[in-house]
């Protein structure tokens, strides 16, 4: 069994962007699936799917990232490999095209899990990532009402992985770090589950959302129920709607959000193509 599941952020989307958002997540899932079909790892697939979303200006990550209070782009991203618990992340990184690729390089090339701010950008230059202005003119910025992007994957060897990337909250305080760069909060993978979350990062940091969902799955809950129970508990505690996706080692999917929509798409072994939706509906077993 192999599977890829991606999301494009939980939130409110402008009506004219609905079709484009669904097309974007479908394209990202197709990119991830091609990696898996060619024998690539779950980590390869999750990362490449997120790269596709970072390069799409309709999503709040990479090129489409929203502006902070200073009118600048600061981005967070992380990756995690479930078989080894290896993880890497960047926070408040600037002037790179694909923060998720830098996050993976942190995991592979350093003894660190997280690099932040100017040091993260300097590391990207050391590693050969070119200078890139991910910003768009304010009138072209399409993702102002939505959150993070992410992907979870299962490869033919049974390995799980997760990758998550964001431009953060519109108008955020410079230097603010959300959940997307933090293993266990907005992004997590182990041998039983892979999870990527989206929404109000301060809530996910306090709840350790992705790790909580993975723990529920490890205790026997299907991904859909694990997500629903965790997000319902968060809603009771914090009153802020978020969203998340999850995948277990058997290829079972979970997609839950308390927002208007969360564009998402998936493909699994034995299915004829990618399935994509604007908002969560019935998730197949």
The pLDDT tens digits for 96-134 are: 999 999 999 999 999 999 999 999 999 999 999 999 987
Give the pLDDT mean for 181-206: 97
The contacts of residue 128 (CB under 8 Å, 6+ apart) are none
Q: Which of 148, 164, 166, 209 is catalytic?
A: 148
130 found inside a domain: yes
In a domain, 235, yes or no: yes
**Domain annotation covers residue 282:** no
- Number of structural domains, the chain? 1
CATH label of the domain that carries residue 25: 3.60.20.30
Q: Is 148 a catalytic residue?
A: yes
Domain that holds residue 96: 3-277
Identify whether 284 is part of a domain: no
Q: Residue 283: inside a domain, yes or no?
A: no
Asked if the structure places residue 85 within a domain, the reply is: yes
Does any domain span residue 92?
yes
The pLDDT tens digits for 127-154 are 999 999 876 554 444 555 567 999 999 9
36-48: pLDDT as tens digits: 999 999 999 999 9
**Is residue 162 included in any domain, yes or no?**
yes
| pLDDT, tens only, 224-281 | 999 999 999 999 999 988 999 999 999 999 999 999 899 999 999 999 999 999 998 6
The confidence score (pLDDT) of residue 241 equals 86
CB 188 within 8 Å of CB 80: yes
Q: What's the pLDDT band for 12 if we cut at 50, 70, 90?
A: confident
Q: Which of 167, 161, 196 is nearest to 182 (CA)?
A: 196
């Amino acid at each position: 069994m192999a599977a890829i599941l991606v999301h494009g952020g939980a939130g409110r989307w402008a009506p004219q962007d609905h079709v484009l958002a669904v097309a974007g997540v479908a394209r990202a899932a197709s990119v991830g699936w091609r990696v898996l079909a060619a024998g690539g790892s779950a980590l390869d697939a999750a990362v490449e799917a997120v790269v596709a979303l970072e390069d799409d200006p309709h999503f709040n990550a990479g090129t489409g990232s929203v502006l902070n209070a200073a009118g600048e782009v600061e981005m967070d991203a992380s990756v995690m490999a479930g078989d080894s618990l290896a993880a890497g992340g960047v926070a408040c990184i600037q002037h790179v095209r694909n923060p998720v690729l830098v996050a993976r390089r942190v995991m592979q090339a350093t003894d660190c899990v997280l690099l932040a701010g100017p040091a993260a950008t300097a590391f990207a230059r050391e590693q050969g990532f070119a200078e890139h202005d991910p910003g768009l003119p304010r009138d072209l910025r399409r993702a102002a009402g939505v959150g993070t992007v992410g992907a979870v994957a299962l490869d033919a060897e049974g390995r799980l992985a997760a990758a998550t990337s964001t431009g953060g909250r519109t108008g955020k305080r410079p230097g603010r770090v959300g959940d997307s760069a933090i293993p266990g909060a907005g992004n997590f993978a182990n041998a039983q589950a892979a999870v990527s979350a989206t929404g109000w990062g301060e809530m996910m940091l306090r709840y350790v959302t992705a790790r909580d969902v993975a723990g529920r799955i490890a205790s026997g809950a299907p991904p859909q129920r694990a997500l629903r129970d965790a997000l319902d508990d968060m809603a009771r505690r914090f009153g802020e709607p978020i969203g998340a996706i999850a995948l277990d080692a058997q290829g079972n999917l979970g997609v839950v959000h308390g927002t208007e929509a969360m564009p998402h798409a998936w493909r699994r072994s034995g299915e004829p193509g990618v399935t994509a939706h604007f908002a969560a509906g019935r998730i197949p077993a």
